[in-house]
Copies of this chain bind each other. A is one copy, B any other.
Amino acid sequence: MTEKGVTTIPGGGVTSAKGFFAGATCAGLKTRGNDKLDLGIVYSETSCVGAGVFTTNTVVSPGVTLTRERVSSGHIRGVVANSGCANACVGPQGLTDAREMAALAAARLGVGEDEVLVASTGIIGVELPMSLIRGAVDSIEVSPDGGPLFARAIMTTDSHPKEAAVSFEIDGTTCTIGAVAKGVGMIHPNMATLLCFIATDAAVEPGFLREALVGTMNVSLNMVTIDGDSSTNDSAVVLANGAAGNAPIRAETSEVELFQRALTAVCTPLTKMVAKDGEGATKLIEVTVEEAATVEDARRAAKTVASSLLVKAAVHGGDPNWGRVAMALGRSGARVQEETLSLYMNEICVFDVGAPIPFFKEAIVASMQKSEIKIRASLGVGEHSATAWGCDLTEEYVRFNSEYTT
C-alpha cells in the first residue's frame, strides 16, 4: 500500500530512520518459539520525544507501568525488550526487575536509566530470570543494520518477523518512519502480547505525536482481532528523534495529515501481518463496514464480525455463510437493521437491502478458497466506515492452545 506522498521502503524496519540503532542476543529466556534471539535493544543516537498506547487490561505487566510513566518524558534514548517471560502476575518483584532491566540496558548504552523503556512478552506468572539478563545485556551490539535482529528477538510463536518502513518529504527534507511488531493479541497463550515499536527521524511535537499514534492505532492495530483475548503486556510506542532536520510537525501545521498517512501506511501492513500470522491461521479476513451511523458503530460492527468464532470457522471451511455475518452484526451493539442491510462475500452480493438473493453459490465457494477473504457489510443507516482484520479459526489453533502446558 502506498498512500499519497508516502513511499514504502522495501525491507525497511525499526532502524530505517536516521540515528536509530538496534541489536539483540540470546539470553536463554525463550525455551520455545521460532527464534533463539530473546533480548533486544533499540537505541537512538539523540534524545527522542515519545508516545505510547497500552493494553486496557487491568492486570498489567510492570514493564507496561514503567514504560507508560516514562514514554512522554521528552528524553527517551532506547527500548529494551525480551521474549519468553511476560513479567506479569509476579507481585512487587516485577517492577523491581523491570527497573533493573532498563538500568542494565542504560548502562550498556551509556544513557540515563530513566531514558530507557522496557517491554516483555512471554509466560505469565513467572519472574524474569534476571541472572540470565544481567549476563546477556552487555553482549548486545547495536548497529544501523540491527532492526531485523531486534524483530526476531521479540517474536514468541510468531512464524516470521514483522517489519515495515516508509518515507515522505517535508519542505524538501526526507523523513522516514520504521516499525516492528510481534504477536497477535492474546492469541499466543501465555506467550502473549502485541508489541509495536515505531521509530521516526521526523521532528514531531510531543502532543501531536501522541494524537497521531492514537489516530493510527484506531484504524490499524486496534482493529485486529484474533481470539478476543487481550494481553497484560500489549504496547505500541513511537519515538521521534528529529534527525531528519525538518521543522517540528505540530497540530496546526499542514504536514499533520501527511505524517498521519505515513504512520498509518507503516502500521497497516504490520496489522495485516499480525492478523495473517494468527495461531494456526490459514486465511486473512478483512471486514469492512460501511454506511454506519457513527465511526464507533462501524468499528464495533467490523470487529464483532472479524472476531465471531462462527464467521471465522465458516471462512476456514470456505463456507459463504452470510447468516453468521448478519447475526454477528446484530449482536455488535452497533445500529443495525435488517431492512437496510446488504452483505457481500468477496464482493459478491448475498443479501441485498433486507432480502436474501439467489447468488451463484459455486462462484462464491470457489472465491472462498483464496488466502484473503473480504467481507463487506453496508448498514444503510449513515455514512461512516471502518475495516477490521482477523484470521480463520482452525483445528490447529485449538490443538496448539490446548496442548501448550504451563
Contact = CB atoms under 8 A, between A and B. Distances in A.
Interface of A: 56-60, 86, 88-91, 123-126, 186, 189-190, 192, 227-232, 307-310, 313-314, 316-317, 319-324, 326-331, 335-338, 341, 351, 354-356, 361, 392-395, 397-399, 401-406
Given A336-B58, A356-B89, A406-B320, A230 B327 contact: yes
27 contacts: A56-B331, A57-B330, A58-B335, A59-B338, A88-B326, A90-B355, A90-B356, A124-B324, A125-B323, A186-B310, A189-B314, A190-B324, A192-B327, A227-B310, A229-B310, A229-B324, A313-B401, A319-B402, A319-B406, A320-B406, A321-B405, A321-B406, A323-B406, A393-B398, A393-B401, A393-B402, A395-B398
Given A125-B351, A229-B331, A402 B314 contact: yes
Contact of A398 (B126, B355, B398, B403): B398
Given A58-B331, A58-B337, A186-B324, 4 more contacts: A86-B323, A125-B322, A229-B328, A319-B402
Protomer copies:
2
B327 A232 contact: yes
Q: Is the interface of A mostly helix, strand, loop or mixed?
A: loop
B317 A59 contact: no
B404 A326 contact: no
Contacts of A395: 395, 398-399
A125 B319 CA distance: 14
Contacts of A354: 91
Contacts of A337: 58
